[in-house]
Amino acid sequence: MTKKYWIIVGLVAAVAVITTLMLASPAAAGKLEEAIAKTPQGVGKGMIDSKAAPGFMGIPGAPSPFWLFGILWGIWVGWIFSTVGAFGGIMAGVGHITVFGLADYGRSFKDTSPVLNKLLTDSIRTSNQYLVGLSAFISSLTYYRMGRLVLPLGLCLAGGGIAGAYLIPVLTAGKINLSQYIGFFGIIVLVIGCFLFYETTEAGQKSKKAAKAAAAAFESEHIKRAAGEVTEHGAAGVQVTHWGASKISFTFYGVEFSFAPIWPILGGFVIAAISAFIGVGGGFLYVPFLTSIAGLPMYVVAGTSAMAVLVSMITSIFTFMFIKGTPIDFLFIGVELVGIFIGSILGPYTSKYIPDRWLKRIFVVLAVYVGVGYTTKGFLGYSIFPGM
């Protein structure tokens, strides 16, 4: 990784922060205290009993999950991350929404204290983003260090990402109530469940088998290098040949790739917006977008998407945390992170006993349960499945 790349990333990140500062209004200090003060005092539903023991975020009477449960849930999330993938982020959200009882607690203030209700919504999704997104940012650095970057593509993605990651928190923080958030969360879970399901079907397996066969055929025919020999590829293979408002072209190993800048800008915007709204990192969406939809080589996609994750995460967390003043229970996130890395160590050791296809099928069932449960709870007011 050269200094030039770091300077560019630094500049883009600085632009993200400055734009946020220029466009936003200052955070109201002590938002949580204000919201608590405006909430009816008492022991009934939708009230705060100031004499009760402090729970989540120090709110008197709020759920106070035992720290060990945070670690145990984190282990579950980490295990899923290292075996199934994206579904780990979903499970991090399920933990905050259902397992630790924050959603039901927040929903109790729907009529008595809408401000507190929405503040809890923002806190839940920011907590998800810290838990998943920040780790995605760290791991993205590994790929970014590889230096395989198509700079104009990264800038287009990052530009769209800044807009999406900034606008969604600004437009929705303090406005989305818990029911709406849970409903949309449920829909996203269902979509991810559909993808997982497709991968386990004959059609999904067939296309993977065909790809493996084609790759193996090419390998045996053309690649005759000695075992352990390393072939030099990399950024030297990327040459940007044309910069323009309507078309940007680059060559990779002599083959020309071109794209209209509007598509990565739009893609970056939509992905960053979804990530900020639900509270995830977005890394899992950038790469398929660039390889499957844009048809770009994986060799340059990883580093390029890493730049976009980096920038959108800085913007999104900065906006939620500093501009909108969303309160966060840092200690609980720290405890969950301990569980996540323990789970990620255990995952590879245990998953070898469960076939990948069956593992995915189990999570399809879980995705349907959580997705339908949250969608109905969010939009109908009750979950058709128990325990949600």
Partner 1 sequence: MEMHPLWMLVDPYIIWFYRLTGYAFADFLLGTFVLAWIALLVGEFTISMVFLVSKQRIDASTEESRHYQDLSAEALSAGDKEAYRAANKLANDAFGKSFFMQIALSAAFLWPVFVALAWMNQRFAELEFPLIFTDYALGCVGVFIVLYVAAYLIFKKIKYKLPYFRWIKTILDSYQSGPVEAKSFTDGLPAVRKDEKR
Footprint on residues 340-379 left by partner 1 (CB under 8 A): 340-341, 343-345, 347-349
Q: Which stretch binds partner 1 (CB under 8 A): 107-115, 126-134, 266-274, 357-365?
A: 126-134
* Alpha-carbon span 27 to 215, nearest angstrom: 54
CB of 103 to partner 1, least distance (A): 21
296 φψ region: left (φ > 0), alpha (ψ -120 to 50), beta (else) = beta
The H-assigned helical ranges of 146-261 are 151-172, 178-200, 202-222
Q: Which stretch binds partner 1 (CB under 8 A): 38-46, 113-121, 322-330, 365-373?
A: 322-330
Nearer to partner 1, 46 or 237 (CB): 237
CB of 125 to partner 1, least distance (A): 17
Query: DSSP 3-state assignment of 99?
Result: helix
CB of 274 to partner 1, least distance (A): 17
CB of 26 to partner 1, least distance (A): 5
Told to check if 10 binds partner 1 by CB under 8 A, we report no
CB of 201 to partner 1, least distance (A): 15
Told to check if 100 binds partner 1 by CB under 8 A, we report no
* DSSP 8-state code for residue 25: P
Among 7, 11, 21, 43, binds partner 1 (CB under 8 A): 21
Among 66, 218, 243, 358, binds partner 1 (CB under 8 A): 218
Told to check if 220 binds partner 1 by CB under 8 A, we report no
Among 38, 175, 206, 233, binds partner 1 (CB under 8 A): 233
* Alpha-carbon span 346 to 352, nearest angstrom: 11
* Alpha-carbon span 149 to 307, nearest angstrom: 9
Q: For residue 386, what are its two tokens?
A: 């128990």
Nearer to partner 1, 122 or 329 (CB): 329
Q: For residue 231, what are its two tokens?
A: 């072939």
Told to check if 246 binds partner 1 by CB under 8 A, we report no
Q: Which residues in 252-311 contact partner 1 (CB under 8 A)?
A: 252-255, 281, 283-284, 287-288, 291-292, 295, 297-299, 301-302
Told to check if 179 binds partner 1 by CB under 8 A, we report no
Told to check if 50 binds partner 1 by CB under 8 A, we report no
Q: Which residues in 185-204 contact partner 1 (CB under 8 A)?
A: none
* Alpha-carbon span 237 to 148, nearest angstrom: 9
What is the CA angle 267-272-274, rounded to 5? 100
CB of 126 to partner 1, least distance (A): 12
Burial of 289 (0-12, 13-18, 19+ CB in 10 A): buried
Q: Which stretch binds partner 1 (CB under 8 A): 37-45, 143-151, 241-249, 364-372?
A: 143-151
- Judged by CB under 8 A, how many residues of this single chain contact partner 1? 87
CA distances to 162, 257, 338 from 246, rounded to whole Å, are: 21, 14, 47
Told to check if 146 binds partner 1 by CB under 8 A, we report yes
Neighbours of 354 (CB within 10 A): 12
Told to check if 112 binds partner 1 by CB under 8 A, we report no
Contact call for residues 255 and 247 (beta carbons, < 8 A): no
Contact call for residues 339 and 77 (beta carbons, < 8 A): yes
**Residues whose CB is less than 8 angstroms from the CB of residue 253 and which lie 6 or more positions away in sequence, other chains included:** 237
